[in-house]
Structure 1
Amino acid sequence: MGLAPLIGMMLCGVIMRNPVGFNMVFYTGSALLLVGVILAFLLPRTEAKGKAESIDFKKIGVVAARKANIASYAAIFSQWFMMGVITVLLPSYMVDLGMTAFHVAMVMVATTAACVAFNYPAGLLSDKVGRKIPSIMGLALLVIAINLIPVATSFEELIGLGILLGVGMGCILPPVLALISDNTEKGERGTAMGIFHALITLGVAVGAPVTGVLASEVGSSLAIHLSTLIPMAAIIAVLVLVKAGLPQREVIVGGENE
């Protein structure tokens, strides 16, 4: 999730500086998707063993209801909700300042690069001090960076905020993902990760249209500020539901760590 958008945004920024502009971006994306389809057909075939299991909603509910998992899900949803906000409002805000699609792409590159750079240190920190501190730190930086966007008026300021935003995002993913591992058994992790990744998609899918509608009613600046209520709520969830200190597993009835 880190290198792919980083490379994609850099390519888009470079391509859009040329006369071919937007058309070439879509042609390039389509060509890459076609390559992916061809490679998928070349994958070795494997025969399915046994019958496909039906969805176990009870198991999903049990996994999702654990306190630490709730905090993890709230944090990752809020992160990608804010990505939806940025996707909708940042380009129009920058265009209003007289900037181009290239400038938008470069801010997003700065954000993604900072996110990638801080993933590993955040993971190390979460193993040293626990999941709570880096999670809260990342969410707090997210709130600060987003709230400062409406007061930024230059490309350099927006690049700086993009980096700050990326640092925050980079600090969130490793500890909240580790929380899932800390509080699930082997037979549950596929379910837990499925919920986790579904919330990534849901965050963007909800954040973008909700903020777009909100911006049309109250204006972009206020919509940006109001959107940070979501990561603020996630901070409260982490504060209340995640234990301080080194990783501790919840008591799982019937599990290995009961």
Structure 2
Amino acid sequence: MHYLVYFVVMAIFFDHFSQMPIISLYARELGATSFWIGLVVGMYSFSNMAGNLVAGRWIDSRGRRNIMIAGLVMAAAGVAAYALAGTAQQLAAARFVHGLGAGLVSPAAFALIGDRSQETRRGQAMAGAGAAIGAAAIAGPAYGGIMAQHVGWDGVFLSVAALLLVTAALAWLLVQDRYQGGNGQRRDPYPVWSLLRKPELRRAFLGAFALMFAMGILVYALPLKVDALGFGSATTGMLMSAFGLVAILLFVSPANRLSDHLGRIKPAVWGLAFIAAALLTLGMVATRSAMLGAMVVFGTGFAMVFPAMAALVVDETRSEERGRAFGLFYAFFSLGVIAGSLVVGAMDATPDQGFLTGALGIAAMAMALLATGRRGMQGRVGRDPAPAITRPSMASRDG
């Protein structure tokens, strides 16, 4: 069942990544001004974050599978509506529906994976989902660009909508959900705040935010630096592909169990240190080979942080609150991307200055994670037996 849920993860991220190289161009063709182009591009992230936040309670009360399927259908309707848009305003409305639907899918899928994963293999299970995201990050932009060039915008939008509908049908037929909802149990009236009060979950959310803060800066500054050096957009694609390939290779290698053996915090801190070093290097070098080396380091860091932080969410939640926890986790993902690009943009920084800012910010967040996470250094697997004895309800409720 893991593999089918991984396919769902890959499909929803493929959907997102396939729009990245073309959505601003499509908005311009519809007559959008610079303001409306920016609004159209940002609308997906905004509504996706909103979807992440509202999804959690539904996932925990109505089951993971049902909300995941509903999100896939809504996302398919949203992206299909792109082809019907005649104005930038209509496209922005379609983007809102698209992002909202996609925002339901990821928390539900990751809650399903968490429910099914063995306690000593949670990092490995989350690494598999990371590999699915990495594959989508490599294939999606290429598909969108090539299809738009050969069959037009509508061909991209309608084919991706068809993929999401087929994925929804497969999930309806084949995915089984052990968790069937809250069963009328009394719940905390302030569930979001109750989750944010948990120190280990705050560390997971900080790690998610830091990871995507770095990605926001990378997506903003790397194309500008490559263009300024006169290398062309193909070099940007090659560098981003290198990052994705390295991450995938580590996600599917024995390294995917690193956080299962060393604990969640230590690999995450080292991974953020790698990312900070990569951003610093990108801000200092001017050759393809050096930039390629930096992207390899960035991909290594990404592959260390993501599964550790996602597994930490599973470690620290009961099944009846896991959907809300992953909703928050992905909301911090979206917030990190927005914050990274906005910070550098507001500074009116050069690409090199943006990379330096990112390196300093990630280093500070790594130190904060280290300072607040010393109790988690041993990880759930490596903790003393006493804490494990005090929390049997999580394992028993997870089945």
Contact kept, 8 Å, 1:185 with 1:255, in 2: the verdict is no
Cα separation, partners in 2 of 1:37 and 1:138, compared to 1, 3 Å: closer
Question: How far 1:41 sits from its partner (Å)?
Answer: 7.8
Cα separation, partners in 2 of 1:133 and 1:107, compared to 1, 3 Å: same
TM score, norm. by length of structure 1: 0.81
1:83 to 215, 221, 233: 215
Cα separation, partners in 2 of 1:32 and 1:158, compared to 1, 3 Å: farther
1:256 is matched with 393
* C-alpha distance in structure 2 between counterparts of 1:223 and 1:57, whole Å: 42
Cα separation, partners in 2 of 1:90 and 1:193, compared to 1, 3 Å: same
Question: How far 1:36 sits from its partner (Å)?
Answer: 3.4
2:247 is matched with 115
- Cα deviation code 1:83-130 (max 9, x no counterpart): 111111100100111111111011000011111222244431111111
Matched, 1:235 2:362: no
Contact kept, 8 Å, 1:118 with 1:167, in 2: the verdict is yes
Cα separation, partners in 2 of 1:26 and 1:165, compared to 1, 3 Å: farther
SS of 2:393's equivalent? Answer: coil
* C-alpha distance in structure 1 between counterparts of 2:392 and 2:153, whole Å: 49
1:97 is matched with 229
- Cα deviation code 1:167-224 (max 9, x no counterpart): 100110111111111111111111111100111111112212221222x2x4322222
Contact kept, 8 Å, 2:247 with 2:299, in 1: the verdict is yes
Gaps of 5+ in 1: none
TM score, norm. by length of structure 2: 0.54
Alignment of structure 1 residues 1-80 onto 2, 5 Å: 1-11=133-143, 15=146, 29-36=156-163, 38-39=165-166, 58-80=190-212
Matched, 1:176 2:335: no
Cα separation, partners in 2 of 1:186 and 1:101, compared to 1, 3 Å: same
Gaps of 5+ in 2: 1-132, 174-179, 395-399
* C-alpha distance in structure 1 between counterparts of 2:304 and 2:181, whole Å: 39
Question: How far 1:228 sits from its partner (Å)?
Answer: 2.5
Contact kept, 8 Å, 1:75 with 1:231, in 2: the verdict is no
Q: Percent identity?
A: 23
Q: Structure 1 stretches (4+) deviating beyond 3 angstroms? A: 9-13, 23-29, 36-45, 120-123, 248-251
- Cα deviation code 1:66-90 (max 9, x no counterpart): 1111111111111111111111110
* C-alpha distance in structure 2 between counterparts of 1:25 and 1:93, whole Å: 29
RMSD (Å), alpha carbons: 3.3
The one-letter amino acid paired with 1:39 is V
SS of 2:317's equivalent? Answer: coil
SS of 2:207's equivalent? Answer: helix
Contact kept, 8 Å, 1:68 with 1:179, in 2: the verdict is yes
2:318 to 178, 185, 189: 185
The one-letter amino acid paired with 1:72 is A
Larger RCO: 1 or 2 (CA < 8 Å, sep 6+): 1
Cα separation, partners in 2 of 1:40 and 1:244, compared to 1, 3 Å: closer
Indicate the larger mover: 76-85 or 148-157: 148-157
Question: How far 1:226 sits from its partner (Å)?
Answer: 1.3
Alignment of structure 1 residues 199-238 onto 2, 5 Å: 199-214=332-347, 216=348, 218-238=349-369
